[in-house]
Amino acid sequence: MLASTKAICAYQNGATSFLNSVILDVSGSTITAGTILAVNAVSSNNPTITMLTSTKAICAYRGTSSFLESVILDVSGSTITAGTNLVVNAVESQNPNITMLTSTKAICAYKGTAGFLESVIFDVSGSTITAGTILLVNVVSSSNPTITMLTSTKAICAYRNPSNFLNSVILDVSGSTITAGTILAVNAVSSANPTITMLTSTKAICAYTGASNFLNSVILDVSGSTITAGTNLAVNAVSSANPTITMLTSTKTICAYRNNPTGFLNSVILDTTL
């Protein structure tokens, strides 16, 4: 989102493989798309985007030579202007996921060197991005990282470990430096495609494809750099893929996912007060 009636979307153009972006303006239940911007002219996989302000977003993606790249997208009305692409590292970087911390700072987590979990701060001045020192968060294969801010100096990341179980870790930020907390093994079942969103500065909710490929969800409570997991909830009893979740209020989220038996898009409210 950028505002209550405006969002920005980034995606890989299936025909060219380049990074594209578009503004989606909302009026009631009607969406109007702006002019599509071709952001670059290189193969750009797994784009991830977050707002910084109501007129600025930052996008990270797997770009040239599969390295991590990032770019500022400035918005005026339904028009997007791209800044200069930043090549962040020189290692294969898969499945980046980004979240804002402040109007001039974002944090990105991704599967980096040797398949390990890595994270980096992006400081923003105008349309220029400066990357901080990359943090090697762990030394195990870590797939599908998902990250959300908790405060301007704290984020929480969830990912799939070598056993395919769900893990989570706090990332504390000071300037452009990240410090990782103790990694929590959230469960002991296969957990695919985790997606996380904050609820409060000390609480997040994560949804994922769990046992029997059913949609599952779990609360992650945070104290300092320590995470405590609640009881996993089996949300449904049908095969479910590619969930995505966002907060609505401090006690309510909405999760959309693919119903595999039908191939249709499903959605569900997850209410932590019930």
Q: Do 149 and 110 sit in the same domain of this protein?
A: no
- Secondary structure (3-state) at 5: coil
Last residue of a domain, one of 136, 160, 192: 136
User: Which pTM value belongs to this model?
Assistant: 0.98
Burial of 229 (0-12, 13-18, 19+ CB in 10 A): middle
What average pLDDT is seen over the chain? 97
pLDDT of residue 273: 83
Give tens-digit pLDDT for 86-119.
999 999 999 999 999 999 999 999 999 999 999 9
Q: How far apart are CA 159 and CA 142, in angstroms?
A: 6
In the predicted model, is pLDDT for residue 274 greater than 90?
no
Q: Do 48 and 159 sit in the same domain of this protein?
A: no
* CATH code for the domain in which residue 181 is found: 2.120.10.70
Q: Domain range holding 188?
A: 143-274
Q: Do 130 and 215 sit in the same domain of this protein?
A: no
Q: Do 15 and 117 sit in the same domain of this protein?
A: yes
